[in-house]
Amino acid sequence: MVSLPVSTACAQSGMYQLAVLKYRGGGDWYSNPTAVPNLVAFCNSELGMQLNDEVATVDVGAPELFDYPWLHMTGHGNVVFSGSEAQNLRIYLEAGGFLHISDNYGMDAYVRREMKKVLPDAEWVELPWSHSVFHSIYAFDSGLPKVHEHDDMPPRGYGLFLKGRLVVFYDYESDLGDGWEDWQVHRDPEEVRQLALKMGANLVAFALQGSVEAN
């Protein structure tokens, strides 16, 4: 069950497991199958987090959602949350969970529409590069890495807050998830892949530390 705040030092062997969020609507939630496993391997090898090697898949409406402190959501298209699914995700976030959304291209309008169901009173905030999510482990003084070009726009990091706590991080025009994939999938330069993995590690560390930030 989610029970943050916690410390990364408490992530003893297999204690925490990361998960990919499964949703309805036709969007390909499964589009980056090697991404989160590679991120887990990076966090374990480079930071000694000792996360569970197995990455779970969890439905947005499932009670098992609360077993995972960190969720990754991605895809290219439509996203639909039912009322009960939105409520389940809201309770998860209120309980201390963390959601990372990575726009694989084509998700933006749907993400914004459906997250309004989840947190109707929260507004998206473009996070300044000074925010601690960009510095929890590795320093990203100039913001998010640019993994893939979509619409010739700079990468942006947006957040949703609950009672001053960042509970959702949304990378837009960055495509972090693609940067975590096996090299053979996109053949991105290793420097770019490493930057993407380091920013991903920041997100995991930030969630496991249970950081409280005012927006």
pLDDT tens per residue, range 59-95: 999 999 999 999 999 988 899 999 999 999 999 999 9
Closest CA to 119 of 93, 99, 145: 93
**Statement: residue 188 has pLDDT above 90:** no
**Region 8-19 average pLDDT:** 64
Distance CA 72, CA 28 (A): 13
Residue 20 · residue 29 · CB < 8 Å: yes
- ∠ CA 21-1-9, nearest 5°, is 95
**Statement: residue 40 has pLDDT above 90:** yes
**Region 184-192 average pLDDT:** 77
**Statement: residue 50 has pLDDT above 50:** yes
**Statement: residue 4 has pLDDT above 50:** no
Sheet holding 19-22, edge to edge: 56-59, 19-22, 70-75, 98-103, 165-172, 156-162, 125-126
CATH class of 8-209: alpha beta
Q: What is the pTM of this model?
A: 0.89
Q: What does the mean pLDDT of the chain come to?
A: 87
**Statement: residue 3 has pLDDT above 90:** no
Distance CA 108, CA 12 (A): 36
pLDDT in tens, 89-137: 999 999 999 999 998 877 899 999 999 999 999 999 999 999 999 999 9
Residue 119 · residue 93 · CB < 8 Å: yes
Predicted pLDDT at 6? 37
Q: By percentage, how much of the chain surpasses pLDDT 70?
A: 88
Distance CA 129, CA 44 (A): 26
**Region 146-172 average pLDDT:** 87
How many C-beta neighbours within 10 Å does residue 9 have? 10
**Statement: residue 46 has pLDDT above 60:** yes
Torsion of CA 156, 49, 167, 94, to 10 degrees: 170
Predicted pLDDT at 2? 42
